């Protein structure tokens, strides 16, 4: 493994064709961690060279997702930098790619190809017809061997053309990868085709654009998804054609779908980064989980702060084998992070959810906030996602929905005895001097003894009476916060339901 010395510059270059899914965030994260660990720079660049798939607003959405998990950039579309602009369509207007493509044509490494899409399709069909096996058609333009006059003539006629890389017919290209080990990957040129560098529209393809930009922007390490391994030889050929120094490659494995059938996809999986944000995943939990998708520190440590991960992240501990998306594990980790926050922090973070659920007003009053502060301890360690808060706290804000009175009757109890107990509870609530958690507990335990029942038989009935459900936060705390008035009313309602 080559030692990493000197300044490193890496980039994440998403295509604004939709939201960013967590697999994309993971790739960005590894780049970012690499940059931060080695004290280098992390650059964000927008690769919007696909005019057809462009989605308005996607770029802002992607940047918001990255910022949310804590991935920030030193240079980028919105903040600029020494190599601005960082948006490829804008760079195209500057003629950067055109110029470089022409340069390769001039040096004989590329050529203008006048074969249009329909003609290419026909050639492909002819190829398929004559071959016994449906072998892949490896396009080589006839213009490879044209004379300067022929090219000039075709150009003069105004026919549209693409610029293609003139890939050698034989030989092979080998390259090394930081994650897979040195000089392991070899691809024969016969398996390649003449890649389009510049489209008919004058827009560069990803292959040309990313490479020119990486070079111009001084990118030292290309850390990208493993789906790029097969096209890496083209990139190497391109670097060689330009006479540029190669960056160091590191192809990180994809994150596979939960069922293991393929890599995560926007269309088939609910993995939009925004969705996790909305559901109440803490960015620090997502950061931690994602860092562990393909990277590990040792045989036991999993919960680590951003700082610890930055300090410990090295590319040689990134696996070559793909990880599988495991929402259960993420949820567990989110719970750990939620529990590590203070009451005030949780209160701050659940207020928006309560507002959205209509439980408190858009601009919460101080008394709303102090009420929330009282409620947080009741659900804090039960939260796995912040969005669960409104559901868990509903009965503190709203009238009870109608519930099945049978729920009031606990194990080995019957309706008459339950009714007796509820009436006694009502009376006790009425006369209780100190309406506090401790006072309530003392009082109710006395009742348990008086009725000679198990604690659960009494407490369970009160829980249902007061919350409308059999699973709820701890009882005495709940009663304390709910207040005497509402508790008495609800117990009275419960008793009435049993009569």
Partner RNA sequence: GCCCCCAUAGUCUAGCGGCCUAGGACGUCACCCUUUCAAGGUGAAGAUCGCGGGUUCGAAUCCCGCUGGGGGUACCA
Q: What burial class does residue 433 get, using C-beta atoms within 10 Å of its C-beta: 0-12 exposed, 13-18 middle, 19+ buried? A: exposed
Closest Cα partner for 177 from 254, 247, 263, 256? 247
Please give the residues from 13 up to 72 whose contact with RNA meets the rule CB under 7 A: 13-15, 17, 47, 49-50, 52-53
399 makes contact with RNA (CB under 7 A): no
Which among 488, 487, 470, 497 has a CA at the least distance from the CA of 415?
A: 497
Q: Does 324 bind RNA (CB under 7 A)?
A: yes
> If binding is defined by CB under 7 A, does position 302 make contact with RNA?
yes
Among 292, 372, 400, 413, binds RNA (CB under 7 A): 292
Listed ranges 145-153, 279-287, 290-298, 340-348: which one lies at the site for RNA (CB under 7 A): 290-298
Residue 411 binding RNA, by CB under 7 A? no
For the CB of residue 361, give the shortest distance to RNA in the complex, in Å: 28
- Which H or E element spans position 188? strand 181-188
Minimum distance from residue 265 beta carbon to RNA (Å): 8
- The reply on whether position 133 binds RNA by CB under 7 A is yes
Tell me, letter by letter, the H, E, C secondary structure of 96-159.
HHHHHHHHHHHCCCEEEECCCHHHHHHHHHHHHHHCCCCCCCCCCCHHHHCCHHHHHHHHHCCC
Instruction: Assess contact for 498 and 415: CB atoms under 8 A.
Output: yes
In the complex with RNA, the residue whose CB is nearer, 261 or 366, is 261
Applying CB under 7 A, does 2 fall inside the site for RNA? no
Told to judge if 266 belongs to the known catalytic residues of this protein, a careful annotator would answer yes
Is residue 231 close enough to count as binding RNA by CB under 7 A?
A: yes
Please report, as residue ranges, which positions from 137 to 156 form the binding site for RNA (by CB under 7 A): 137, 139
41-44/110-113 β-pairing: unpaired
- What is residue 174's three-state secondary structure? strand
Using CB under 7 A as the binding rule, whether residue 263 contacts RNA is answered as yes
Burial class of residue 141 in the structure, from the number of CB atoms within 10 Å of its CB (0-12 exposed, 13-18 middle, 19+ buried): buried
Instruction: For residue 214, state whether it binds RNA (rule: CB under 7 A).
Output: no
Q: Which stretch binds RNA (CB under 7 A): 62-70, 236-244, 322-330, 397-405?
A: 322-330
Residue 130 found at the interface with RNA (CB under 7 A)? no
286 binds RNA per the rule CB under 7 A: no
Is residue 203 at the binding interface for RNA, with CB under 7 A as the rule? yes
Nearer to RNA, 349 or 454 (CB): 454
Positive or negative: CA dihedral 390, 391, 392, 397: positive
| 321 is a contact residue toward RNA (CB under 7 A) | yes
Q: Quick one: which of 83, 215, 266, 329 contacts RNA (CB under 7 A)?
A: 329
Give the binding-site size for RNA (rule: CB under 7 A): 89
Residue 46: count of CB within 10 angstroms of its CB: 23
Coil, strand, or helix at residue 262? Answer: coil
Q: Which two tokens stand for residue 9?
A: 């510059």
State the Cα–Cα distance between residues 11 and 61, nearest whole angstrom: 18
**Which residue's CB is nearer to RNA, number 69 or number 232?**
232
**DSSP letter, residue 266:** T
Gap between the Cα atoms of 175 and 248, Å rounded:
10
Candidates 112, 261, 266, 331; catalytic one: 266
Residue 135 interacting with RNA (CB under 7 A): yes
Applying CB under 7 A, which of residues 260, 366, 401, 452 lies at the interface with RNA? 260
Of the ranges 237-245, 347-355, 365-373, 454-462, which one interacts with RNA (CB under 7 A)?
454-462
Look up tokens 């069922």; give the residue: 259
Active-site amino acid positions: 266
């Amino acid at each position: 493994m080559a030692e990493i010395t000197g300044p490193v510059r890496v980039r994440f270059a998403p295509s604004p064709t939709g939201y960013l899914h967590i697999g994309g965030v993971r790739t960005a994260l590894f780049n970012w961690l690499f940059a931060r660990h080695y004290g280098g720079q992390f650059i964000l660049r927008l690769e919007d060279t696909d005019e057809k798939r462009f989605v308005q607003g996607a770029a802002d959405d992607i940047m918001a997702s990255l910022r949310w998990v804590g991935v920030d950039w030193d240079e980028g579309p919105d903040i600029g930098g020494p190599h601005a602009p960082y948006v490829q369509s804008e760079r195209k207007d500057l003629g950067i790619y055109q110029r470089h493509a022409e340069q390769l044509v001039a040096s004989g490494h590329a050529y203008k190809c006048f074969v249009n899409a329909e003609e290419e399709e026909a050639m492909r069909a002819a190829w398929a017809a004559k071959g016994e096996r449906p072998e892949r058609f490896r396009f080589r333009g006839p213009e490879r061997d044209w004379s300067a006059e022929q090219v000039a003539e075709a150009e003069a006629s105004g026919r549209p053309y693409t610029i293609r890389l003139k890939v050698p017919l034989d030989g092979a290209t080998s390259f090394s990868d930081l994650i897979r080990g040195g000089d392991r990957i070899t691809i024969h040129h016969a398996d390649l085709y003449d890649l389009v560098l510049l489209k008919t529209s004058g827009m560069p393809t990803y292959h040309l654009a990313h490479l020119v930009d990486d070079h111009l922007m001084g990118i030292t390490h290309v850390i990208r998804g493993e789906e790029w391994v097969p096209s890496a030889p083209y990139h190497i050929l391109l670097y060689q054609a330009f006479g540029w120094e190669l960056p160091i490659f590191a192809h990180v494995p994809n994150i596979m779908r939960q069922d293991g059938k393929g890599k995560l996809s926007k269309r088939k999986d609910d993995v939009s980064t925004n969705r996790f944000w909305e559901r109440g995943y803490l960015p620090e939990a997502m950061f931690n989980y994602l860092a562990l998708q393909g990277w590990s520190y040792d045989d036991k440590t999993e919960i680590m702060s951003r700082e610890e991960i930055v300090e410990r992240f090295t590319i040689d501990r990134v696996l070559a084998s793909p990880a599988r998306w495991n929402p259960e594990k993420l949820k567990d980790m989110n719970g750990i992070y939620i529990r590590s926050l203070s009451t005030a922090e949780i209160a701050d973070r659940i207020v928006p959810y309560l507002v959205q659920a209509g439980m408190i007003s858009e601009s919460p009053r101080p008394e709303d906030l102090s009420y929330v502060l009282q409620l947080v301890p009741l659900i804090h360690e039960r939260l796995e996602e912040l969005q669960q808060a409104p559901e868990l706290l509903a009965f503190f804000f709203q009238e009870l929905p109608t519930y099945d009175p049978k729920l009031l009757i606990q194990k080995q109890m019957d309706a008459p005895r339950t009714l007796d107990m509820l009436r006694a509870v009502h009376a006790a609530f009425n006369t209780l001097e100190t309406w506090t958690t401790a006072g309530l507990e003392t009082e109710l335990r006395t009742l348990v003894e008086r009725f000679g029942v198990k604690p659960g038989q009494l407490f369970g009935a009160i829980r249902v009476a007061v919350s409308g459900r059999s699973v709820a936060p701890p009882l005495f705390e709940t009663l304390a916060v709910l207040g005497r008035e509402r508790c008495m009313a609800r117990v009275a309602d419960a008793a009435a339901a049993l009569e």
